């Protein structure tokens, strides 16, 4: 898949295009989380082909690194970062067995669609927490496979659904607590985004893409009036947790 993928374009969190809605909302949330913190050192877990480090470098003046176990994923990410001028290191490594000098090194560790692939969610989160400084913060976002997105994904491409663990917001929050993290904020994110569901056979199929995008964009267009539908366990496309490293056990 990485071999066939073009370089993704960076996003403008202030862009007015409806296609930019997710990034604009994510920017709102992340800005509140980061507010008042400067000179952050941020690690993205699962950084293959990711423009998030470019976002953190550009809009939050952070120093960014990434880790991913995929050889080709890291190679493509290096090309991407070089193209857009991202200054940071990319580690081709397993987060469960990382280079020792990365342990306890970061102010913030982020992941977007990683932790839901592990049966032992708490174990994966503990591995992520190891990269944090004593006062570090973990930001985790996953697709809501326990809601409507999961139903659509199961119908559209069962193989993709099967590589996810369908977690609820409560499940993800509890897993952070089990990983000895202190949860600061958690919940469902956004009201709808049917585009989160994916199927290989949809690639290049305009009718299927339209079926997902039109209802989503109609909701987003309505929400621009200032009245947003509440995030909820059924239709929300994402789940997030903000947690801090708990050092009470030494």
Nearest-angstrom CA–CA distance, 245 and 204:
43
Burial letters 98-132, b for 16+ CB under 10 A, else e: beeebeebbbbbbbbebbbeeeebbebbbbbbbbb
Q: Which residue has the tokens 């927490």?
A: 129
Q: Which residues contact 233 (CB under 8 A, 6 or more apart)?
A: 144, 146, 147, 168, 169, 188
Q: What DSSP state is assigned to residue 142?
A: E
pLDDT band at 248 (very low <50, low <70, confident <90, very high): low
Q: What's the average model confidence in pLDDT over 116-131?
A: 97
pTM attached to this predicted model: 0.92
Length of the chain: 250
Q: How many CB atoms lie within 10 A of CB 184?
A: 14
Q: What's the average model confidence in pLDDT over 181-190?
A: 97
Max Cα-Cα span within the chain: 55
Note the pLDDT tens digit of each residue in 54-112: 999 999 999 999 999 999 999 999 999 999 999 999 999 999 999 999 999 999 999 99
* Poorest-pLDDT segment among 51-55, 211-215, 235-239: 211-215
Q: HSE (CB half, 13 Å, CA atoms) of 2?
A: 16
pLDDT band at 7 (very low <50, low <70, confident <90, very high): confident
Nearest-angstrom CA–CA distance, 48 and 113:
11
Q: In what order do the strands lie in the sheet with 106-112?
A: 90-92, 63-68, 41-45, 106-112, 132-143, 238-245, 181-189
Instruction: Give, for 112, the enclosing helix (H) or strand (E).
Output: strand 106-112
Instruction: Give, for 221, the enclosing helix (H) or strand (E).
Output: helix 206-223
pLDDT band at 250 (very low <50, low <70, confident <90, very high): very low
């Amino acid at each position: 898949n990485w071999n066939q993928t073009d370089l993704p374009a960076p996003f403008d969190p202030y862009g007015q295009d409806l296609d930019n809605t997710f990034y604009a909302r994510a920017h709102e949330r992340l800005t509140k989380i980061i507010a008042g913190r400067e000179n952050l050192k941020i690690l993205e877990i699962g950084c293959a082909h990711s423009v998030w480090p470019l976002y953190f470098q550009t809009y939050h003046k952070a120093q960014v690194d990434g880790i991913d176990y995929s050889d080709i994923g890291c190679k493509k990410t290096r090309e991407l970062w070089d193209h857009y001028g991202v200054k940071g290191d990319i580690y081709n490594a397993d987060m469960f067995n990382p280079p020792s000098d990365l342990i306890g090194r970061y102010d913030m560790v982020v992941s977007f669609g990683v932790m839901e692939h592990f049966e032992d969610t708490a174990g994966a989160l503990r591995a992520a927490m190891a990269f944090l400084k004593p006062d570090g913060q973990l930001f985790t976002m996953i697709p809501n496979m326990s809601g409507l997105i999961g139903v659509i994904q199961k119908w559209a491409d069962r193989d993709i659904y099967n590589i996810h663990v369908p977690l609820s917001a409560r499940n993800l929050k509890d897993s952070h607590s089990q990983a000895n993290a202190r949860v600061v904020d958690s919940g469902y994110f956004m009201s709808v985004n049917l585009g989160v569901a994916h199927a290989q056979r949809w690639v290049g199929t305009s009718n299927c893409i339209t079926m997902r995008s039109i209802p989503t964009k109609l909701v987003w267009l309505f929400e621009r009036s200032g009245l947003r539908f509440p995030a909820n366990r059924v239709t929300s496309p994402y789940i997030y947790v903000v947690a801090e490293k708990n050092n009470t056990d030494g």
